[in-house]
Structure 1
Amino acid sequence: MKVAVGMLLAVLALSPALAQPVVTSAAPLATSVTVYRDPNRGEGRIDPRWPNGYALVSEKRRITLPAGESTIRFEGVADGMLAVSAVVTGLPGGVSEKNRDARLLSPASLLDGWLGNRVHLRRTNRQTGKVSESDAIIRSGPNNAVVLQTAEGVEALRCSGLPETIVYDGVPEGLSAKPTFTVNTASPGATTVDVTLTYLATGFDWGASYVARVAEDGKTLDLFAWLTLANGNSAGFDGAQLLAVAGAPNRTSDFGTLVAQPPSPVLNLQCWPMDSTSTHDAWGLPVPPPPAPPMPMMYEMAVAAAPQAMRMAKGNIAADSIARQEELGDLKLYRVPMPVDISSNGQKQVALLQKAKVPFTLFYRATLSPFQSDTASRPIGIALRMQNKDKDGLGIPLPSGGLVVMQERADDELLLADAQMRDRAVGEKVEIDAGSNDQLRIQQETLSTDDDGTLRRVRVTLTSALDRPAPVEILIDRTDGYDLVASGRTLTPKDGGRLWALTLPANGKAVLDYSLRRQD
Structure 2
Amino acid sequence: MPRALSLWAPMAFALALVPGAAAASEPVVTSIAPDAVAVTIYRAPDRAADSAMNLDWLEGYALITETRSVDIPAGAATIRFESVAGGMLPESALVTGLPSGVREKNLDADLLSARNLYARAYGRPVILRRQRGKDGKGTVSEERAVIRSGPDGAAIVQTRDGFEVADCGRGISDALIYSEMPEGLSARPTLSVRTESTAAKRATITLSYLAWGFDWQTNYVVRLNPVTGKADLTAWVTLASSDPTSFPAASTAVVGGKLDREDSRETRDVQDGDLVLHCYLQPRVWAPQVIPPPAPPPPPMMMEGMMAADIVVTAQRRSAPIMNAPVKVTEEGLGDLKLYRVPMPTTVAANAQKQVAMHDLKSVKFKTWHTADLWDGIDGNATIKLRTRNRKEDGLGVSLPGGPVAVFEPHEADLLLVGQGGMRDYAVNEDVEVTLSSSPQVHVKVRKTASAARWADFEAKVSNANPWPIMFEGMVRLDDGAKLLRPSTPLTRKFGRPTWTVSVPANGEALLRYRVTDPD
Q: TM-score range by the shorter chain?
A: 0.7 to 0.9
Q: Which residue of 2 aligns with 1:389?
A: 391
Instruction: Write the mapping of 1:361-510 to structure 2, written as runs, cut at 5 A.
Output: 361-362=367-368, 364-374=369-379, 378-409=380-411, 411-433=413-435, 440-448=442-450, 455-464=455-464, 470-477=470-477, 479-505=479-505, 508-510=508-510
Using the TM superposition, give the Cα deviation of residue 409 of structure 1 relative to its aligned residue in structure 2, in angstroms. Answer: 4.7
2:393 counterpart SS class: helix
Q: What CA deviation, in whole Å up to 9, does each residue of 1:309-357 have, x standing for no partner?
A: xxx9xxxx8xxx2110000000111001111112211111000112112
- For 2:357 and 2:346, the matched residues in 1 are separated by 12
Cα 1:462–1:109 shift into 2, 3 Å: closer
Code of the residue aligned with 1:349 in structure 2: it is: Q
Cα 1:146–1:395 shift into 2, 3 Å: closer
Is 1:62–2:69 an aligned residue pair? yes
Cα 1:355–1:170 shift into 2, 3 Å: closer
- For 2:143 and 2:89, the matched residues in 1 are separated by 47
- For 2:152 and 2:283, the matched residues in 1 are separated by 18
Within the candidate set 236, 239, 261, 1:229 is matched to 239
Using the TM superposition, give the Cα deviation of residue 104 of structure 1 relative to its aligned residue in structure 2, in angstroms. Answer: 1.6
- For 1:370 and 1:124, the matched residues in 2 are separated by 68
Is 1:299–2:323 an aligned residue pair? no
Using the TM superposition, give the Cα deviation of residue 402 of structure 1 relative to its aligned residue in structure 2, in angstroms. Answer: 0.9
Name stretches of at least 5 consecutive residues in structure 2 with no aligned partner.
1-21, 133-137, 287-312
Cα 1:365–1:143 shift into 2, 3 Å: closer
1:487 counterpart SS class: coil
- For 1:131 and 1:322, the matched residues in 2 are separated by 55
Q: Which residue of 2 aligns with 1:212?
A: 222
Within the candidate set 96, 99, 102, 1:89 is matched to 96
1:84 counterpart SS class: helix
Deviates more, 1:260-269 or 1:387-396: 260-269
Code of the residue aligned with 2:206 in structure 1: it is: T
Code of the residue aligned with 1:219 in structure 2: it is: G
Instruction: Write the mapping of 1:37-52 to structure 2, written as runs, cut at 5 A.
Output: 37-42=43-48, 43-52=50-59
Within the candidate set 257, 268, 274, 1:247 is matched to 257
Cα 1:409–1:268 shift into 2, 3 Å: closer
* Contact 1:98–1:182 (8 Å) recurs in 2: yes
Q: Which residue of 2 aligns with 1:518?
A: 518
* Contact 1:417–1:433 (8 Å) recurs in 2: no
Q: Which residue of 1 aligns with 2:296?
A: none
Q: What CA deviation, in whole Å up to 9, does each residue of 1:95-152 have, x standing for no partner?
A: 11111222122455345546677x576778989978676xx887876568888899x7
Code of the residue aligned with 1:297 in structure 2: it is: R
TM-score (normalizing by structure 2) = 0.76
* Contact 2:168–2:283 (8 Å) recurs in 1: no
Q: Which residue of 2 aligns with 1:12?
A: none
- For 1:481 and 1:46, the matched residues in 2 are separated by 41
- For 1:159 and 1:373, the matched residues in 2 are separated by 58
Between structure 1 and structure 2, the one with the greater Rg is 1
TM-score (normalizing by structure 1) = 0.76
Using the TM superposition, give the Cα deviation of residue 426 of structure 1 relative to its aligned residue in structure 2, in angstroms. Answer: 0.6
Q: Which residue of 2 aligns with 1:180?
A: 190
Code of the residue aligned with 2:316 in structure 1: it is: M
Within the candidate set 355, 360, 363, 1:357 is matched to 363
- For 1:56 and 1:420, the matched residues in 2 are separated by 27
Q: What CA deviation, in whole Å up to 9, does each residue of 1:342-389 have, x standing for no partner?
A: 221111100011211222334x32212414432xxx554444322211
- For 1:439 and 1:116, the matched residues in 2 are separated by 68
Cα 1:69–1:327 shift into 2, 3 Å: same
* Contact 1:481–1:519 (8 Å) recurs in 2: yes
* Contact 1:100–1:182 (8 Å) recurs in 2: yes
Name stretches of at least 5 consecutive residues in structure 1 with no aligned partner.
1-15, 271-284
Deviates more, 1:105-114 or 1:29-38: 105-114
Code of the residue aligned with 1:368 in structure 2: it is: D
Cα 1:99–1:510 shift into 2, 3 Å: same
Cα 1:156–1:493 shift into 2, 3 Å: same
Code of the residue aligned with 2:493 in structure 1: it is: P
Q: Report 1 or 2 for greater relative contact order, CA contacts < 8 Å, sequence distance ≥ 6.
A: 2
- For 2:419 and 2:486, the matched residues in 1 are separated by 33
Within the candidate set 332, 342, 366, 2:348 is matched to 342
* Identity level (%): 37
- For 2:444 and 2:233, the matched residues in 1 are separated by 30
Within the candidate set 188, 201, 208, 2:211 is matched to 201
Deviates more, 1:34-43 or 1:464-473: 464-473
Q: What CA deviation, in whole Å up to 9, does each residue of 1:251-289 have, x standing for no partner?
A: 2334545x679966958699xxxxxxxxxxxxxx74559
Using the TM superposition, give the Cα deviation of residue 39 of structure 1 relative to its aligned residue in structure 2, in angstroms. Answer: 1.9
- For 2:500 and 2:356, the matched residues in 1 are separated by 41
Using the TM superposition, give the Cα deviation of residue 196 of structure 1 relative to its aligned residue in structure 2, in angstroms. Answer: 1.5
* Contact 1:102–1:262 (8 Å) recurs in 2: no
Q: What CA deviation, in whole Å up to 9, does each residue of 1:472-508 have, x standing for no partner?
A: 2222345435333353332222134321012335555
The structure whose residues are more often helix, as a share, is: 1
Using the TM superposition, give the Cα deviation of residue 299 of structure 1 relative to its aligned residue in structure 2, in angstroms. Answer: 2.9
Cα 1:137–1:231 shift into 2, 3 Å: closer
- For 2:168 and 2:442, the matched residues in 1 are separated by 74
Deviates more, 1:287-296 or 1:336-345: 287-296
Cα 1:477–1:31 shift into 2, 3 Å: farther
* Contact 1:324–1:336 (8 Å) recurs in 2: yes
Within the candidate set 18, 24, 41, 1:35 is matched to 41
Aligned length: 464
